């Protein structure tokens, strides 16, 4: 007891330093941006911020070959709601599934696009109003800004086609972008919300009249080769949504139901194998090129 009393004044500052260090490390590891940076590091993706009015979009990119296609990944809705009745103050996903998929893609050119206001620093958040991650999450200006972001990165690979992938609500954005472009060589969605009217009705939540609906442009992308992956245990966006969408598109689209995977399942672990699946209407001569 005497020894402890003698050394206590010396140990107190050291104990405080350890507490501060432990607290700061815990804070880092619970920070979504920290987790995103770690995911990006695994795929050698570099963080960036891109201004496309009215948003500053967070991006992670790896562009190494000007003569190869551009693989673009679009994030899901993130944390749009705190619970069924309260809107989130920040839509940044706790687990960036779209980024995890991008990090698994070994293609020469990979671009990840976060959705508006995800991972956005306070000084860049002037346009970040809650309607952009609730009722207007698929609004025309949202789609236009993300489409402009793709055009921006395509200037680094001029004349190359785009391989476009969207996760969950990012799948809706991917479809809506594909309907605006002529350079989409492949379109993939993972657990994609391809009909928000039907999905919201299923969950008995408010409709989104200010958002575009992917199913309304199905005929406009009828010639785009596309695969839509759905988990057979997904209760958030059940596979029937993808099946109805594919029926509306026609012969160049198909659904792949993945056994025992739900909406937030381990899609990244499966992704390297899913990337190799054949896509309807895909040009056999371009097949290998579109995957490197």
- 160-218 pLDDT per residue, tens: 999 999 999 999 999 999 999 999 999 999 999 999 999 999 999 999 999 999 999 99
> How many Cα atoms within 13 Å fall on the side-chain side of residue 29?
6
CA distances from 268 to 36, 275, 284 (A): 14, 11, 26
Strand pairing class (46-52; 55-63) = antiparallel
SS3 233: coil
In the chain, where does DSSP find H-type helix? 2-29, 32-42, 97-104, 140-154, 169-178, 196-203, 239-249, 267-274
CA distance 75 to 91: 11
Buried residues in 25-38 as b, exposed as e (16+ CB within 10 A): eeeeeeebeebbbe
Q: Give the global pTM.
A: 0.89
- Has residue 13 got a pLDDT over 90? no
| Secondary structure class of 112 (helix, strand, coil) | strand
Confidence of residue 287 (pLDDT cuts 50, 70, 90): confident
Q: Would you report the helix, strand and coil content of the chain in percent, each value rounded to 5?
A: 40, 20, 40
3-state DSSP assignment of residue 66? coil
Q: Is the pLDDT of residue 131 over 90?
A: yes
Sorted by where each begins, the domain ranges of the chain are: 1-30, 32-291
Mean pLDDT of the chain: 91
Is the model's pLDDT at 147 over the cut of 70? yes
Flag whether pLDDT at 48 surpasses 90.
Answer: yes
For 241, list phi and psi in degrees, rounded to 5.
-65, -45
> At residue 97, what are phi and psi to the nearest 5 degrees?
-65, -40
Residue 29 pLDDT: 57
Of 18-22, 114-118, 141-145, 164-168, the range with the lowest mean pLDDT is 18-22
Mean pLDDT of 255-272: 98
Q: What dotted CATH number matches 32-291?
A: 3.40.50.1820
pLDDT band at 286 (very low <50, low <70, confident <90, very high): confident
The larger pLDDT score, comparing residue 1 to residue 34, is at 34
Looking at residue 61, what is its pLDDT?
A: 98
Residue 84 confidence (pLDDT):
78
pLDDT at 21 over 90: no
Contact 103, 42 (CB under 8 A): yes
How high is the pLDDT of residue 221? 98
Burial of 73 (0-12, 13-18, 19+ CB in 10 A): buried
- DSSP class per residue in 180-232: T-S-EEEEEEES--S-HHHHHHHHT----TTS--GGGGGGGGTTS-EEEEEET
Per-residue pLDDT of 205-260, as tens digits, reads 999 999 999 999 999 999 999 999 999 999 999 999 999 999 999 999 999 999 99
Mean pLDDT throughout 80-100? Answer: 92
Predicted local distance difference test score (pLDDT) of residue 15: 42
According to the model, what pLDDT value does residue 12 have?
43
Is the Cβ–Cβ distance between 274 and 256 less than 8 Å? yes
Tracing tokens 């990006």 back to the chain, one arrives at: 40
Reply yes or no on whether the pLDDT at 10 is more than 90: no
Model confidence at 289, in pLDDT bands (50, 70, 90)? Answer: confident
Q: Look up residue 106 and give its two tokens.
A: 């070994």
- 24-33, 64-73, 77-86, 96-105: segment of lowest average pLDDT: 24-33
**Bridge partners, 55 (sequence order):** 52
| pLDDT at residue 85 in the model | 80
Token readout for 291 is: 């995957």
Structure tokens at 258: 């993945």
């Amino acid at each position: 007891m005497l020894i402890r009393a003698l050394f206590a004044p010396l140990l107190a500052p050291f104990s405080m330093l350890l507490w501060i260090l432990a607290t700061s490390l815990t804070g880092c590891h619970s920070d979504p941006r920290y987790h995103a940076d770690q995911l990006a590091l695994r795929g050698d993706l570099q963080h960036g911020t891109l201004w496309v009015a009215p948003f500053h979009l967070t991006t992670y990119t790896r562009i190494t070959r000007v003569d190869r296609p551009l693989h673009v990944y679009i994030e899901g809705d993130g944390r749009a709601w705190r619970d069924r009745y309260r809107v989130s103050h920040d839509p940044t996903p706790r687990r960036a599934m779209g980024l995890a998929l991008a990090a698994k893609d070994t293609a020469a050119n990979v671009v990840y696009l976060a959705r508006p206001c995800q991972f956005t620093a306070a000084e860049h958040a002037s346009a970040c109003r809650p309607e952009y991650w609730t009722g207007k999450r698929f609004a025309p200006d949202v789609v236009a800004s993300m489409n402009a972001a793709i055009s921006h990165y395509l200037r680094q690979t001029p004349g190359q086609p785009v391989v476009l992938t969207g996760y969950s609500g990012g799948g809706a954005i991917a479809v809506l972008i594909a309907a605006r472009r002529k350079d989409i060589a492949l379109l993939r969605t993972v657990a994609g919300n391809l009909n928000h009217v039907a999905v919201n009705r299923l969950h008995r939540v408010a409709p989104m009249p200010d958002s575009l609906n992917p199913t309304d442009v199905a005929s406009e992308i009828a010639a785009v080769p596309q695969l839509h992956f759905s988990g057979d245990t997904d209760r958030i966006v059940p596979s029937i949504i993808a099946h109805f969408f594919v029926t509306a598109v026609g012969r160049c689209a198909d659904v792949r139901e993945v056994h025992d995977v739900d909406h937030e399942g381990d899609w990244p672990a499966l992704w390297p194998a899913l990337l190799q699946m054949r896509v309807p209407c895909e040009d056999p001569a371009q097949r290998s090129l579109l995957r490197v």
